[in-house]
Amino acid sequence: MTAQHSRIDAPLLSSDALSEAVRAQMRPQWGNIARTAVILGVIMLLLALSYYPTEMNNWVRLFQGNDFLDSMIAQFLSPDFSDLDLYLRKMLETVQIALWGTVLSIIFGAPMALLASNNIAPAWIVFPMRRLMDASRAINDLVFAVLFVAVVGLGPLPGVLAIFVHNLGIISKLFSEAVEAIDERPVEGIRTTGASRLQEIIYGVIPQVIPLWSSFSLYRFETNVRSATVLGIVGAGGIGFTFNEAFKGFRFEEASAIIIVMVVTVSVIDMISSRLRKMLI
C-alpha cells in the first residue's frame, strides 16, 4: 500500500508536474509591468505638475499655531444642543427634500431609462436621451440649487428641484444599464405570443429590473440626504441653512451640534437602506 501511494504521489511532487501554461503564468509579465509603470509614471507627473497650482506646498499651515483654529476646535468639542428641537425639524425637512427629489427623479427617470436603452429604443432616440442624461449629471446639484433659488426664491422647493434634475440623469443612467443587462429570452417568449412592444416591456423587462431599480433608488436616496444637507447653504432649505447661519455667526458650539444631528441621521438612513438593498438583491 505504501509503495502504491509512493507511485501515485511521485508524479505530483516532480518538477514535470507543472504544465507549460502554469510556468508561463508564473513568469514575470514584463509587458504588464511596463504598462503599469507607465500609468503610475503619468499619474505621478500629473500630481507633480499640479502640486503648486493646488497650493499643496502650504499643507504645513495645518500644524502651525493658530489661535482662531484652536478656539474653533475647542468650541466644536463642546456642542450646544439647546435648540435640538429646531435642528431635528430642519433635519426632517432635509430628509423630506431628499425624498421628494428622489421620487420625482425615479418617476421621470424610469421612462427615460427605457428610451435610452439600446435593446429597447432605436438609435435615433437613444442618442439624444443619453446626451440629455449626460447634461443633467454633468451639472452639480449645488449649481442647480443656486439657479432654482434665483427662480423660485429661498426655501425647500429649490432643493427638491435641484436634487430632482441632477438625479434625473443619474437614475436614468443606472436604470438603462440594468435594462441593457436583462435576459432577452423572457422577452422573446412574450413576443412569440403576439404581444405588443409595450406588453413586452411591462411583462418581460420590468419584472427583471425591478430589484436592481429598487436597490439603485435606495442608494440614491441615502446619497441625496447627504446632498440635501449641503444645498441649504445656498438657501435651498433644510438643516444646511441653519448650519450656515451658525457657522457664519461663529457659533461653533451650535454648528457642532448640527453636525452631530446630521451624522446620526445619515448613518441611521444608511444602515436601514443597506439592509433593504440586501433584501432586494
Query: Which has the closest alpha carbon to 177: 221, 139, 226, 215?
Result: 215
Distance CA 248, CA 99 (A): 28
What amino acid occupies position 215? Answer: S
- 170 versus 191: the higher-pLDDT residue is 170
- Cα separation of 163 and 143, whole Å? 10
For the chain, the average pLDDT equals 83
3-state secondary structure 66-117: CHHHHHHHHHHCCCCCCCHHHHHHHHHHHHHHHHHHHHHHHHHHHHHHHHCC
DSSP state letter for 161: H
d(CA 226, CA 101): 13
pLDDT band of 1, cuts 50, 70, 90: very low
pLDDT of residue 31: 74
Q: Domain ranges for the chain, please list them.
A: 2-56, 82-280
Residue 72: pLDDT over 80 = no
Does the structure show a pLDDT above 60 at 10?
Answer: no
Q: Which CATH number fits domain 82-280: 1.10.1740.10, 2.40.30.110, 1.10.3720.10, 2.60.40.10?
A: 1.10.3720.10
Share of the chain above pLDDT 90, in %: 19
161 contacts 142 by C-beta, under 8 angstroms: no
- Maximum average pLDDT range among 17-21, 23-27, 83-87: 83-87
What pLDDT digit, counting tens, does each position of 91-135 carry? 999 999 999 999 999 999 999 999 888 888 888 888 988 998 888
Q: Which residues contact 51 (CB under 8 A, 6 or more apart)?
A: 57
